[in-house]
């Protein structure tokens, strides 16, 4: 049985993602771990509120129980609640790894400094460090079966193609159509880009209804979001590259742009080549290898 970890801080954005995660778990018959990372109170002498760690843990479990009762009062999902003290990103990654999780579901707030702080401290951190796929749910997104998936791709030969197993698993489960989207900038030769279409990826997705789409635009995230809107896409899949320092200084992050501007959930898959906890899907052939945004 697959396991989904739903991370919550009990905010409105997180509660929307919790609802989304429960619906997803029912659709794929997965177990849910509902998780909260709590922080120790300030030790500053002027701090007016202090709760000992044992009370913080108790409060966290009580809130998790309330959430579970609210979203699944009839216990239709196999559920476990967990909490852990520590930095949010590290705690999520630790619990997800220990429990062989297949997907981590997180919500994101869409306005203000809180949103930017959340993205910087949690989603961005996890997208760089977690070997487990993330499903990032915008605050207003509602769950629906994935009829259409857009996969943002810039294929190369350095990464094992088996990392696409989570994407393939979702597409097979929901009988989704998959659009492999390649954004061609003005400085690139369109004919050459079309000729470089990955035969490996074509083969790997052969069991799916898939197509290759080429968009001409300088801003990759803008082009992808326009494609998503025009084609009623239900999920966008991306694989962030691990940039070195110089690349970080001179290149915008497509993944981060998408996180800030998308209105549909993102599936963020690590390009790490190590065997991942939760990657217990059918891997048909590991001899092919794409690299993605």
Average pLDDT, the chain: 78
Q: Which residue has better confidence, 227 or 218?
A: 227
Stretch 17-21: mean pLDDT, rounded?
96
H/E stretch holding 57? helix 53-71
CA distance 178 to 201: 12
CA distance 177 to 92: 31
Contact 271, 291 (CB under 8 A): yes
Range in 78-92, 105-119, 130-144, 212-226 with the lowest mean pLDDT: 105-119
Q: What share of the chain is helix, strand, coil (3-state, %, to 5)?
A: 40, 20, 40
Domains of the chain with bracketed CATH: 3-138 (3.40.50.620), 148-268 (3.40.50.620)
Average pLDDT in the 245-270 region? 60
Whether the per-residue pLDDT at 279 is higher than 50: the answer is no
Residue 5 pLDDT level (bands cut at 50, 70, 90) = very high
Which pLDDT value is given to residue 240?
76
Which helix (H) or strand (E) segment is 279 a member of? Answer: none
Distance CA(190)–CA(196), nearest Å, equals 10
Using the predicted structure, report yes or no on whether residue 209 has a pLDDT greater than 90.
yes
Which residue bears the tokens 């509120």?
49
**In angstroms, how far is the first alpha carbon of the chain from the final one?**
30
Query: What was the pLDDT predicted at 42?
Result: 58
CA distance 17 to 252: 27
pTM of the model: 0.81
């Amino acid at each position: 049985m697959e396991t989904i970890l739903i991370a919550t801080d009990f905010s409105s954005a997180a509660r929307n993602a919790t609802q989304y995660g429960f619906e997803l778990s029912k659709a794929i018959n997965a177990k849910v771990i509902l998780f909260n990372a709590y922080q120790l109170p300030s030790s500053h002498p002027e701090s007016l509120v202090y709760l000992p760690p044992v009370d913080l843990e108790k409060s966290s479990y009580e809130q998790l129980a309330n959430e579970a009762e609210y979203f699944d009062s009839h216990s239709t999902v196999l559920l476990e609640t967990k909490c852990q003290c520590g930095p949010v990103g590290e705690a999520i990654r630790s619990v997800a790894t220990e429990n062989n999780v297949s997907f981590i579901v997180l919500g994101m707030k869409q306005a203000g400094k809180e949103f930017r702080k959340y993205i910087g401290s949690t989603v961005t951190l996890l997208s760089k460090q977690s070997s487990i796929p993330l499903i990032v749910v915008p605050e207003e997104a509602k769950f629906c079966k994935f009829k259409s998936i857009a996969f943002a791709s810039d294929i190369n030969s350095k990464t094992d193609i088996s990392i696409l197993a989570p994407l393939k698993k979702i597409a097979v489960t929901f009988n989704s159509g998959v659009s492999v989207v390649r954004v061609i900038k003005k400085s690139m030769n369109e004919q050459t880009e079309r000729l470089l279409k990955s035969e490996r990826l074509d083969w790997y997705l052969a069991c799916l209804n898939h197509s290759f789409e080429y968009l001409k635009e300088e801003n990759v995230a803008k082009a992808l979001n326009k494609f998503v809107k025009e084609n009623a896409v239900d999920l966008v899949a991306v694989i962030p590259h691990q940039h070195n320092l110089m690349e970080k200084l001179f290149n915008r992050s497509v993944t981060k742009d998408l996180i800030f501007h998308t209105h549909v959930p993102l599936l963020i898959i690590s390009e790490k080549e190590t065997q991942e906890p939760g990657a217990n899907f059918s891997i048909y052939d590991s001899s092919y290898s794409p690299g993605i945004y």
